[in-house]
Chains A and B, each alone.
Chain A
Amino acid sequence: MAIEKITDTRQMLHWPGHMETDYIYTLGIACEKFFIEIKENGRILGAKCKHCNYVFVPPKLYCEKCFAKLAEWVDLGIQGVVHTFTVAHIDINGTELKDPEIYALIKFNGAEGGLVHKLGEVRPSQVRIGMKVEAVFKPQPNRKGNINDIKYFKPRE
């Protein structure tokens, strides 16, 4: 039997469906503390492994290198540096964005890892790798204990 070349499954017998499942994720031990600090005190915390002299951000319950339990928290401040960035011209569904969005990996002084977040108050053409930025939080009453409690990072003079 010859193999048919089909580019659109709707042209043949098919069955449509979707997965109607909702998820509710607990934040876990380490991440819960991380987000409560952001929500209540506007602080970005890392977790330090003393053995490896390594600060994880976002924080973890354990060091992935040596497996020690991490109990030492480090206040990283709210300022960081653009490690790399991209400019999104389409959204998650492939629709063109009127205003392109800038997403960056932001690293903090004295910590490994970093946060992926949006950049604001800046045009794509102005963004540079190595640029200093700082977190802009939502007003405290509007914070919910998730990553969007930080509205975006903006350039620091």
Chain B
Amino acid sequence: MCIEVNRVSKQYTLWKIKGWTRRERQVIEAVKDVSFRVEPGRALALIGPNGAGKSTMIKLLCGILSPTQGSIRVLEMDPFKDRSRLAYRISSVFGQRSQLWYHLPPIDTFQLLGRIYDIDRVELKKRMKELIELFDLSSFLYQPVRKLSLGQRMRCEIAAALIHKPKILFLDEPTIGLDVVARSTVIDILRDLNRHRNVTIILTSHDTGDIERICEDVIVLNEGKIVLESKIREMRKNFFHSKIIEIEFAEQPNDLNLLPGVRVFDQNGPVVKLEVDLKTCDVNEVVSRIVACNAVRDITIQDPPLESIIQHIYLSGYSAEREAGQNAQIDG
């Protein structure tokens, strides 16, 4: 087993300042009685709204934090106690925290990381060559990081995280702030790493689209608890019943000519948000009808926000415990 999490809880202490001098201790339970397992080579997504406990879970798995209760095994090690040993076998990319040296070209960071992970010089050279080809970095390898685009920088970040051939890659919001093209490139690379190079991926993201393209399994967290543990395709089948279409009309629309199963979700002048029930009608048909009757400036199609999916999970009475028992195993 690659990762085993057994009834883990994590509590934090916060001090609230009340008045001029009074401080009040507040205990926050960021993760509550969470259990799951991950087989080697799988790609698991941890999703949930802000404050759901995703980042805390990643920190617990990396050994940055220790669980208040329960036990964690990562590659047969206790991540908190064996942190230094485990560091050589796992890697992490935290979307908003760079490990690249800002004024220097990425190749310098790669070489430093090679020394940090005690990689033999010949092996490092070979490894860098592989990563440069895989991530297509050669055109900007010698440019200072500050001059790279966000997408190029993220490719370098992920390449840097792989320099020591980790067995598990933890990614916390790796596509945050990226444009559509850069996001797509990063997703393709991550999928390739997982499918063809057998790197186990644990990913957190707010974006359900990213998750669907990379991961096979998903755990939905809310308020520190697992509310759903499932295969991505099952989750799509059971809970992704709708799409949100945001349309910016050239002028106030007269007749939206809506099909059954489509409702106006929000309207602000010429910008209209529609919710389309995918069981009743097809998104393409809805868009075609609207475009045929109105002048449209812009259209975007999105998945419903995670909050509404979670709400749907609760409303449908679906929960991890009911679906798979206390200690479900994600096993392909």
Partners in one complex: no
A-side residues, CB < 8 A to B, are: none
